[in-house]
């Protein structure tokens, strides 16, 4: 526990000094929220819908920081530590790979939760947002999204041969997911063909869960996303631990 | 004497190149052992096989009576390592690096004391990246001693250090050795080896070309000084 606490404290400080996660996971979702709030305000999401555009988007906005931390932050930091031979130094100490990975996962979870809190407060205080769904359901879905997106990041960080390739893979995952999964550009405004393509992305499924939970919509059609996301998480975590490389 | 490092017929190849070819060595408790040879002679490979960060093709390794790859977590509570090339997190300070390192061990020595002894006690607030090469080298030697180890591996101990800093490092290591610390080091400086090492092993193309004490090394060669003897052992055949 002493090792975990000290490493968490140190790595959190280093991450904050790096600034990039502050920008991508904290500022960026807020900027998108403020833009949507100003443009659409409290307009209904679609004609006759009994929830506002902002209410509809809230679940998606919460996933931006998860996406930034999970598929950008996490794989880049792990592959960077491998490239710089920091993991090699850890290898000749009693520390376990699980501890190293857990510390990073906790750090990006903290960023995500902080972003969630800021988004909620900003939306509620400045744009009259009301959360009409079920918090427990939302929390469950949120955890599942974190688990599956972070596990993809762990896998990329774990098996990418070097930080350059990790960077390329991270960008290939991050930008399409950010744009096409509904995290920034609302899923509802996309043409049907694009929606079909977007459905393949795990984050699209995650956002569907978050959206339903935050709006209090029935969860009956959530079975497929739930199964898909749990499956992704299980496979990716398995691979990242089985194939963890110190060098 | 208790044997803390025991290596038998260690062989490791990269493709067709034999980096270590039947290396055997024994280090007793409180001994300082020097692993010598030109660049690419197989020193680092041998060290990494002993530590278990590389898997030998054949041969056996025992470190404090344990097998490094099977008992990694248990073993590295008691073994310190300074690698030749090592990394640190960007924007980490000396204090943070020391604290994080100390936290990994069940018992860890006082790092401020160590830093002071290596002449970088006033650098705790500096970024590791802002240290000079010599200061950084001393920091990583200090880090390897943080767990209060029984055995320490020092790869290219004083490369990049000025004359004064080298003397300080030697003095510090000699002191720790008096307390029973066993040391395996690699070095390119023969004055250092003469000052510190009880026994040496000279490698050439992965093979042992000399094993014994400094006096024996000079005695078995046609040379007067140890440095000449070392060069004689490691020189390339002219044909």
| pLDDT tens-digit series, residues A105-163 | 999 999 999 999 999 999 999 998 999 998 998 999 999 999 999 999 999 988 888 88
ipTM of the complex: 0.91
The enclosing H or E element of B155 equals strand B151-155
Q: Which residues have a Cβ under 8 Å from the Cβ of A78 and sit 6 or more positions away?
A: A100, A101, A104, A154, A157, A158, A166
- Kindly give the parts of chain B with pLDDT less than 70: 236-239
The enclosing H or E element of B22 equals strand B17-28
Boundaries of every domain in chain B: 30-55+68-199
Q: Is residue A46 pLDDT above 90, yes or no?
A: no
CB pair distance less than 8 Å for B87 and A18: no
Q: Is residue A182 pLDDT above 80, yes or no?
A: yes
Nearest of B14, B13, B140 to residue B85 by alpha carbon: B140
Chain B contact for A16 (CB, 8 A cutoff): no
Chain B contact for A95 (CB, 8 A cutoff): yes
Quick one: pLDDT at residue B239?
A: 45
Residue B66 is classified by DSSP as: B
- Top pLDDT among A218 and B100 is at B100
* CA–CA gap between residue A222 and residue B134 (Å, rounded): 60
CB pair distance less than 8 Å for B103 and A88: no
Quick one: pLDDT at residue B237?
A: 57
Q: Which residues have a Cβ under 8 Å from the Cβ of B70 and sit 6 or more positions away?
A: none
Quick one: pLDDT at residue B147?
A: 95
Q: Long-range contacts made by residues B55-58, C-beta under 8 angstroms, separation at least 24?
A: B55/B12, B56/B10, B56/B11, B56/B12, B56/B20, B57/B11, B57/B12, B57/B13, B58/B9, B58/B10, B58/B11
CATH of domain B30-55+68-199: 3.40.50.300
Q: Is residue A222 pLDDT above 80, yes or no?
A: no
Report in angstroms the alpha-carbon separations of B199 from B110, B180, B209. Answer: 30, 16, 14
CB pair distance less than 8 Å for B89 and A94: no
Task: Name the residue of chain B whose CA is nearest to A5's CA.
Answer: B103
Q: pTM of the full predicted structure?
A: 0.90
């Amino acid at each position: 526990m002493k090792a975990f606490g000290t490493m968490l404290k140190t790595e959190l400080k280093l991450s904050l000094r790096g600034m990039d996660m502050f920008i991508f996971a904290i500022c960026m979702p807020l900027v998108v929220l403020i833009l949507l709030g100003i443009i659409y305000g409290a307009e209904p999401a679609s004609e006759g819908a009994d929830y506002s555009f902002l209410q509809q988007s809230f679940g998606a906005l919460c996933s931006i920081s998860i996406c930034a931390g999970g598929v950008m932050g996490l794989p880049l930091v792990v592959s960077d530590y491998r490239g710089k031979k920091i993991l090699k130094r850890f290898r000749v100490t009693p520390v376990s790979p699980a501890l190293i990975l857990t510390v990073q996962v906790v750090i990006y979870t903290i960023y995500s939760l902080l972003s969630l809190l800021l988004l909620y407060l900003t939306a509620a205080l400045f744009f009259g947002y009301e959360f009409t769904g079920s918090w427990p359901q939302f929390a469950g879905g949120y955890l599942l999204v974190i688990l599956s997106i972070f596990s993809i990041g762990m896998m990329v960080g774990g098996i990418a041969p070097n930080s350059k390739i990790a960077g390329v893979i991270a960008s290939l995952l991050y930008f399409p997911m950010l744009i096409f999964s509904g995290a920034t550009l609302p899923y509802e405004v996309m043409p049907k063909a694009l929606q079909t393509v977007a459905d393949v992305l795990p984050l699209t499924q995650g956002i569907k869960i978050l959206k339903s939970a935050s709006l209090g919509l029935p969860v009956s059609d959530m079975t497929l996303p739930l199964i898909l996301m749990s499956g992704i998480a299980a496979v990716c975590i398995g691979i990242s631990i089985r194939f963890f490389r110190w060098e | 004497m208790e044997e803390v490092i025991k290596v038998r017929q260690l062989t490791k190849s990269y493709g067709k190149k034999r980096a270590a070819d039947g290396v055997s060595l024994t280090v007793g408790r409180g001994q300082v052992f020097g692993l010598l040879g030109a660049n690419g002679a197989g020193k680092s490979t041998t060290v990494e096989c002993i530590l278990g960060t590389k898997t030998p093709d054949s041969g056996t390794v025992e470190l404090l009576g344990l097998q490094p790859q099977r008992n990694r977590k248990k073993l590295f509570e008691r073994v310190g390592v300074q690698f030749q090339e090592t990394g640190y997190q960007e924007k980490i300070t000396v204090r943070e690096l020391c604290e994080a390192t100390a936290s990994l061990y069940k018992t860890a020595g006082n790092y401020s004391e160590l830093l002071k002894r290596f002449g970088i006690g006033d650098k705790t607030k500096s970024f590791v990246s802002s240290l000079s090469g010599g200061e950084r080298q001393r920091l990583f030697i200090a880090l390897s001693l943080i767990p209060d180890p029984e055995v320490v591996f020092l790869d290219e101990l004083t490369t990049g250090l000025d004359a004064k800093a080298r003397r300080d490092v030697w003095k510090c290591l000699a002191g720790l050795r008096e307390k029973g610390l066993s040391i395996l080091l690699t070095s390119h400086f023969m004055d250092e080896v003469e000052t510190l090492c009880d026994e040496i092993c000279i490698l050439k193309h992965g093979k042992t070309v000399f094993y014994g004490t400094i006096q024996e090394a000079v005695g078995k060669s046609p040379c007067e000084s140890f440095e000449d003897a070392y060069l004689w052992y490691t020189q390339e055949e002219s044909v």
